[in-house]
A and B are shown apart, each in its own frame.
Chain A
Amino acid sequence: MSLELNYELLVALLVLTTAGWSVAARDSYSATVGFVSYGLLLAIVWMQLQAVDVALTEVAIGSGLTGLLLLGAAARLRAAEARVVARPSAMLRVTAALACAGLSVALAYTVLSLPRAAPSLAAEAVAALPATGLGNPVNGVLMAYRAFDTLLEKVVLVLSLVGVWSLAPDAGWTGRPRLLHPFADDGVLPFLARTLPPLGLLLGVHLMWNGADEPGGAFQGATVLAAMWLLVLMAGLGEAPQVSARWVRAAAVAGPATFLAVGLAGMGVAGAFLAYPEPHAKALILFVEVPMMLTIALVLALLVAGPPESAPGR
């Protein structure tokens, strides 16, 4: 076994350990911390698999934003969860463990018996890339070849925001989401919230702009923007917008609406839904990506912020 595989074995073991921890830890807060570390380690795995775009997404959304969401929930449910004492019977746990191990073995067998000549669309993806004006094949798939998936995914984001808002208590409907961090007063968080956002803004726009040719893209850039905004909100330096504000609703649908409009225009100009007329493909993709990035940033942040609450006298 080579030295390199030893390193990979170590990473795989760490991934499995943190995964096991986030299932087995007694306290949900510890489990969530385990889950965040798990996401970071998983990003190393994605780097090893030569999928830099996925690694960026995993760090930003899978580990970062999901972690923030879960930490907030774990903190709010801590007292109630402490009263949960019952564990399922040993019999049930053993049966479940056997069933899950069986599933894992079946999946492992599938992995080991994958065809030796792996099917791949890489050559086709690279061959058609010049027509899109992009240099990053992953972005080519997202914005051109499988643009329909990306469009629907934006719709899913907006729908889940509608879902989250619909869970607002009656009194909160015209209010704002509130996510003041319990440690907001200790100075470090407000300091970071004052110093980081300019850099974060630059990094976010850079990731989006550079995503055309290098790893990165609208998603990863938007997540950085969302994180900066959440930092400001949690430090108490800004207020989340009222969910009934018109600009919030307009911004939430701007991305998918532009995408849909360009897609429909493609029917007339390029002969198919979501097709780009070739010489203008790059310009159109950018035209779609900019409002999309704003929508993603806004929706991701508001999904973490949760439903609006009635404003208490704070």
Chain B
Amino acid sequence: MNPATLYGLCGAALVGIGLYGLLTEPRLLRKIIAFNLVGSGVFLLFGVVARRGADAGLGGDPVPQALVITGIVVAFSATALAVTVLLRLHEAGGGVSFDDRAGDEGKERTTS
């Protein structure tokens, strides 16, 4: 097994770990973190494809590498937006999780 394949398997496992967190964790902040794990796992798969495409004296195919760089920046923008929505939801009296018992104090209140 070469290193690229090893890291490919690692990326596959990361997608699984992240998705598990996304499905089972009731807290919204943790869902955001888990979603980022899924994303970075997918990026890693891209990186493996790039490494396998090493050619012309380069260590990897620059096209998927550049796509991953764009992807990381977009993932950050989405995370920032998600975190801000969550903080506002909390400030406005909403819950911080999908668990029914938390955020009770704000449940009946309608937010403007």
Contact = CB atoms under 8 A, between A and B. Distances in A.
A83 B26 CA distance: 12
Given A53-B65, A111-B11, A114-B49, A84 B102 contact: yes
Contact of B52 (A28, A92, A114): A114
A138 interface: yes
A112 to B, nearest CB: 7
Contacts of B67: 146, 149
**Interface size bucket, B side?**
35 or more
A243 B87 CA distance: 19
Contacts of B17: 16, 19-20, 23, 100, 104
B33 to A, nearest CB: 5
Given A42-B44, A122-B55, A156 B74 contact: yes
Interface string A83-96: 11111100011001
A261 to B, nearest CB: 21
B104 to A, nearest CB: 8
A57 B23 contact: no
Instruction: Identify whether the interface residues of B are mostly helix, strand, loop, or mixed.
Output: helix
Interface centre among B6, B45, B67, B75 (most CB of A within 10 A): B6
B87 A73 contact: yes
Given A48-B7, A100-B23, A61 B13 contact: no
A307 interface: yes
Contact of B80 (A62, A108, A145, A160): A160
Interface of B: 1, 3-21, 23-27, 29-30, 32-34, 36-37, 40, 43-45, 47-63, 65-70, 72-81, 83-88, 90-91, 95-97, 99-103
Interface of A: 4-5, 8-9, 12, 15-16, 19-20, 22-23, 28, 31-32, 35, 38-39, 42, 45-46, 48-51, 53-54, 57-58, 61-62, 65-66, 69-70, 73-74, 76-77, 80-81, 83-88, 92-93, 96-97, 99-101, 103-105, 107-108, 110-112, 114, 118-123, 125-127, 137-138, 140-142, 145-146, 149-150, 153, 156-157, 159-160, 163-164, 167, 169, 217, 219, 296, 300, 303-304, 306-307
